[in-house]
A = this chain, B = another copy of it.
Amino acid sequence: MSTAAVCRAFLGSCRAMAGVFPSLDAVRDWFAAKDRCHRFEVRQVPLAGLDQWSYAPGPLRLVHRTGRFFSIEGIRVETDFGPAPTWDQPIINQPEVGILGLLAREIDGVLHFLMQAKMEPGNVNILQLSPTVQATHSNYSRVHQGSTPRYLEYFTEPGLARVLLDQLQPEQGARFLRKRNRNMVVAVDGPVPMHEDFCWLTLGQIKALLAHDNIVNMDARTVVSLIPLADPDEPPNYGLVDGVTGFGLDIYLSFCRSDKERHTMDRLMAWLTDGKARHAMHVSPLPLDALRGWMVTDTDIRHESGLYFSVIGVDVAAKTRESTRWSQPLLHHKGEGLVGFLCQRHGGVLHFLVRGSLEPGNRDGMEIGPTVACSEVAARSRRAGAPRFLKQFLDPGDLVVRYDAVQSEEGGRFHHFQNRYMVVELPPGKHLDLPGHFIWMTLGQLWRMARHGHVSIEARNLMACLGLLETLP
């Protein structure tokens, strides 16, 4: 299947608001029914009360008895980039590559994606829609002979499905140490066995759900962000977007090949290379109890200022058919963050303002981030040194808000970690003074960069939210 044909199938699915479910309301009814019968009790417990988890010495860190899953470790960060030259923090170390996979199938001429209603202990609302598969490496390498996640074989066994995309993508560099996951979309031609917690959605339905708070989970968003709505090598095909207007049409055109791009790909690569070479972030391991400013107790790990995040314990009772119970640490986030893209038409083509982003957990130095990614907005917007361009999101004035919804980060590692995601459009011609670590890119360019793992998860999450609808529901 050619790239152009695959992209046409993606675009067609994005235009389809009806599919196996005849309407978005039908999807929401199905999800609400699932939500009513979920049985998940999450209770905060002291870290010392966690089953199987404990502090281990040399250097002090929080680990599972088996050494599996992940650990919480301490790091010291030193850098010449950004306002803070040094800080200490706990970070999640999970040195393995998982699979986040979407299974796709054409049904009645429209590509559908198999989504799962999945409970995760850290979500404010427990149940959200996840991709078909979220598997750790031990799941799919079958190191341990446990049950494997449903549908995993379509992603791991050659020949069962056609691979439409398979990319290594970074996770949050501020919270995960060098973590990446495979993001995959694979397609089957025939039916697959169905399970009650799974449903087939069109890309248009998924994008429409993304306009609502906390329905589509982070793992789904990162995979969806990599699905192109057009082949960036091809000029626009207006026949394919007949009836698409306004900002939705701008999104499509920004994916397409254009001679109106503000910068060439070579210029953008040079900008990124310069950022990577110019700025360094040195990360050295430290025992948790040696971290400056952090208090490590039997209850939790938290910063003495009350800011940033804390590591807490939760006890989870899942009353599914196989009644299971476990406890684990989660990173609790008290305040809400803000992740935003400024966009603007240049030469008639929509461009997005990206920012070089250097975080301690990044595998390869600077990544391409959104215009703004700011934790605890309420606290930080009041202080001096608030992030550049934050005010355009907090007080857009006459700018046009194109997207605005609250989404949760990974509920298997984070507790109540929510960010407000926004896309705000500047009028054409309105000038912004850009510091050197900001640059304009089209969506096609951003997608090409993302394909090679250069784009941060915050920026990808926003890319996922961009669809073809003119207005917010």
Contact = CB atoms under 8 A, between A and B. Distances in A.
B182 A273 contact: yes
A100 to B, nearest CB: 12
A166 B3 contact: no
Given A233-B233, A277-B182, A452-B452, A164 B3 contact: no
Contacts of A165: 266, 269-270
B364 A266 contact: no
A414 to B, nearest CB: 24
A contact face: mostly helix, strand, loop, or mixed: mixed
A283 interface: no
A2 interface: yes
A454 interface: yes
Contacts of A259: 2
A363 B363 CA distance: 9
A97 interface: yes
A168 interface: yes
A132 to B, nearest CB: 17
Contact of A364 (B257, B273, B364): B364
A298 interface: no
Contacts of A266: 3, 6, 163-165
A167 interface: yes
Nearest to A273: B166
Contacts of A363: 364
Contact of A269 (B269, B364, B451): B451
Copies in the complex: 2
A167 B3 CA distance: 26
Interface in A208-249: 233
Contacts of A267: 163
A265 B3 contact: yes
A280 to B, nearest CB: 9
A264 interface: yes
B270 A168 contact: no
A189 interface: no
B233 A269 contact: no
A276 interface: yes
Contacts of A276: 97, 168
Interface string A261-298: 00011110110011011000000000000000000000
A329 B454 CA distance: 36
Contacts of A452: 269, 452, 454
Contact of A233 (B167, B257, B451): B257
Interface in A436-473: 451-452, 454
Contacts of A2: 259, 264
A351 to B, nearest CB: 17
A167 B273 contact: yes
**Of listed A257, A264, A454, residue having the most chain B CB within 10 A:** A264
Contacts of A164: 266
Contacts of A167: 269-270, 273
A6 B3 CA distance: 26
Contacts of A166: 269-270, 273-274
Nearest to A278: B141
A180 to B, nearest CB: 9
**Of listed A257, A277, A454, residue having the most chain B CB within 10 A:** A277
Interface in A358-379: 363-364
5 contacts: A97-B276, A165-B270, A269-B451, A364-B364, A452-B452
Interface of A: 2-3, 6, 97, 163-168, 182, 184, 233, 257, 259, 264-267, 269-270, 273-274, 276-277, 363-364, 451-452, 454
Closest 6 CB pairs of A and B: A166-B270, A452-B452, A166-B273, A163-B270, A3-B264, A97-B277
Given A2-B259, A167-B273, 17 more contacts: A2-B264, A3-B265, A3-B266, A6-B264, A6-B266, A163-B266, A163-B270, A164-B266, A165-B266, A166-B273, A167-B269, A167-B270, A182-B277, A184-B270, A233-B257, A269-B451, A269-B452
